[in-house]
A and B are shown apart, each in its own frame.
Chain A
Amino acid sequence: MSAIGAKPAGGAGLDTTSALVGIIILIVILGAMYMLGSSVALMALIGVIIGGILIGFGVHFVPVGGAPAAMGQAPGIATGVAMLAAGAGLAGLFGGAWAAEQGLAVAVITGGIGGGLMMAITCFMVNFIYVFGMGIPAASGKVLKDPITGDSQPEFKSQGTEGHGLPFISYVGGVIGGIFGGAGGTLIYIMLLDVYKESLPEMFGAQAAQVLPIAITLAGLFAIGIFLVNAVLAAYNITGTIEGPHDPKFKRFPRDIIASAVASAVCGIVAILLVAM
């Protein structure tokens, strides 16, 4: 039996002791940032943490189907979280980065729209191929009625499968997830870019315009790094596959919010201390 056939063992509950340890780590990191850096750096770190939480929360909405979905045996998009998150999140991040000069709110909203648009197109094409290419209707295996449209599901579900295709609720979930992911990625990028724009000219003894390419690359790379870490942690939380916001696994999101906050704080403080120390 190969590794792919293994059943993941992640439970559904929240381990209180571990969660407390996580929150303590988070507070220690925030305190360390306050001691070591300026108030701008602390605000940037809080922005990075919020961005990371948005990414981790957003992944829970995205209908990730994995290998079973590729064979039409489970609902969702037929690939893993790492690929989907990279696609939707980076599309949003690049969209938001173009709007970075127009202020935080515009950039974050643009990033969200970029990610949501990417997921909308992906979900549409996925359903198009499912329906017209593989000849299977969209049906959820987890709920009897679509929570939004109220359409009945079990009649369309093939025997021996967990459902197939992308039901309307999964489609909507995908778009919401893309919006959260794109907005979160852009927020991390903007926060880090502000810190680098401020510190790098002094660090290199150069004019701001000269070191701007370095500030943009550093912020972009760190945003991608923190994005992937949060996306994979969320993937661990849902143990690989989820149907969308109606899936029972969606209820596990509280512990991912703690996990994303701790992970983003650890990565964010290192990224900020690169220039602030």
Chain B
Amino acid sequence: MSVKIEVIEGGMPHTNIMIGGLVVSVICIYLTYLNVLTGTQLFAFFGGLGAIAAIVWGSHTIKHLCSYGIGTGVPSAGMMAFGSGLIAMLFATRYGVAAPIVAIILAAVIGAILGYVANNILSMHIPVMIQSLVEMAVIGALTLMGFAAMMTGSFELSSMTVGQVTILGLSLPSYQASLLGGALLATVFMLGGIAIQHPFNACLGPNWTQDRMLMLAAECGFLSMIPAAVMSMALVSMPAALISLIVSLVGWYYTYANYIVLSKRDAAEWLDAKPIPELEGH
């Protein structure tokens, strides 16, 4: 038996964050379906917001798991999440409208088997191992699906594999100019992976506070959303991509400013140091 050495003091219980993250993420990803209903691509940015909700939830799950001392470092949990989530997410995109639900169920099954393997066959014996790996796989799948929905305007396999190439004013379907054909999903994989593992890695320690870590997670999510929005210019219409970019920039600035405020609050003391003044006449 391993000993839990870092308890969560104060703040919201993990269950609330899990339910909140799951519900917000699924709703936001489904809101991108408005694109299909209204015939535009302007609602694509909801996918990015869904991914950020999953990232915020994910950072707390990593905190929950790593407080038992898994010994492998925090980034490994993020890599595990995306490795297993990616497989579930790509398979689920075949199922059209039901894709997010299928992704959640399949990711949970894969996560449960991986959790059993890690906990029992590898004798980790960590009480929250299976639950955490289930959550991590779901989080990985939802984050990737959210960003993919944001970059293509839809969460279906057909829109991720077929893009448009304009040659001499003629618009032609192309498999190469798409999210999968252009391997943009590999970039999203790393953008999400870094965003999910960084918050707890940066905030862990004796003065860990929940709101500061979650704010940093949201900040990292918006930071990853900015390059995703830039990349989406190649795949969705320019107004939709610009809306995503503006939402991500505004969200990033807001969360970053708040994170700095919270960091100053939690610091023992801080000095607003100025650059070395250039003194003249000496």
Contacts and interface: CB of A to CB of B under 8 A. Distances in A.
A, B from the same assembly: yes
Interface of A: 1-11, 13, 15, 18-19, 21-22, 25, 66-67, 80-83, 86, 204, 206, 210-211, 213-214, 216-218, 220-222, 224-229, 231-233, 235-237, 239-241, 255-256, 258-259, 262-263, 266-267, 270-271, 273-274
A19 B84 CA distance: 21
A267 B85 CA distance: 10
B121 A3 contact: no
Given A221-B86, A229-B83, A10 B124 contact: yes
A263 B112 CA distance: 11
Given A80-B73, A259-B122, A233 B117 contact: yes
Given A221-B186, A229-B80, A236 B113 contact: no
A235 to B, nearest CB: 4
B124 A232 contact: no
A221 B176 contact: no
Contacts of B91: 270-271, 273-274
Chain A contact surface mostly:
helix
B256 interface: no
B70 A8 contact: yes
Nearest to A19: B121
Contacts of A210: 175
B75 A82 contact: yes
B204 A225 contact: no
A117 to B, nearest CB: 22
B94 interface: yes
Contacts of A229: 80, 83-84, 114
Interface stretch (B35-43, B177-185, B273-281): B177-185
Which 7 pairs across A and B sit closest by C-beta, in order of nearness? A6-B69, A8-B71, A240-B71, A228-B83, A9-B2, A18-B120, A80-B73
A255 B70 contact: no
B5 interface: yes
Given A217-B183, A233-B118, A237-B122, A3 B79 contact: no
B31 interface: no
Given A206-B175, A225-B86, A262 B72 contact: no
Interface of B: 1-3, 5-6, 66-77, 79-80, 82-84, 86-88, 90-91, 94, 106, 110, 113-114, 116-118, 120-126, 161, 175-176, 178, 180-183, 185-186, 189, 204-206
B210 to A, nearest CB: 15
Given A259-B122, A274-B94, 8 more contacts: A18-B121, A214-B178, A227-B83, A233-B118, A236-B71, A255-B123, A266-B110, A270-B110
Nearest to B111: A266
A46 B162 CA distance: 31
A270 B74 CA distance: 27
A214 B2 contact: no
A213 B83 contact: no
B110 A267 contact: yes
A259 B118 contact: yes
Nearest to A85: B79
A227 B5 CA distance: 31
A3 B82 CA distance: 22
A218 B93 CA distance: 13
Contact of A6 (B2, B117, B185): B2
A69 to B, nearest CB: 12
A262 B117 CA distance: 8
A112 to B, nearest CB: 21
A224 B83 contact: yes
A274 B175 CA distance: 17
Contact of A15 (B1, B73, B120, B180): B120
Contacts of A22: 116-117, 121
A81 B72 contact: yes
A222 B68 CA distance: 30
Contact of A3 (B67, B88, B122): B67
Given A66-B73, A213-B181, A3 B204 contact: yes
A227 B80 CA distance: 10
Given A204-B175, A259-B117, A218 B90 contact: yes
A266 B107 CA distance: 11
A255 B84 contact: no
A62 B144 CA distance: 30
A22 B79 CA distance: 23
B123 A10 contact: yes
Nearest to A207: B175
A13 to B, nearest CB: 7
Given A18-B121, A229-B114, A222 B87 contact: yes
Q: Among the interface residues B72, B80, B86, which one has the most CB atoms of the partner chain A within 10 A?
A: B72
Given A82-B72, A227-B83, A2 B121 contact: no
Contact of A232 (B76, B123, B161, B175): B76
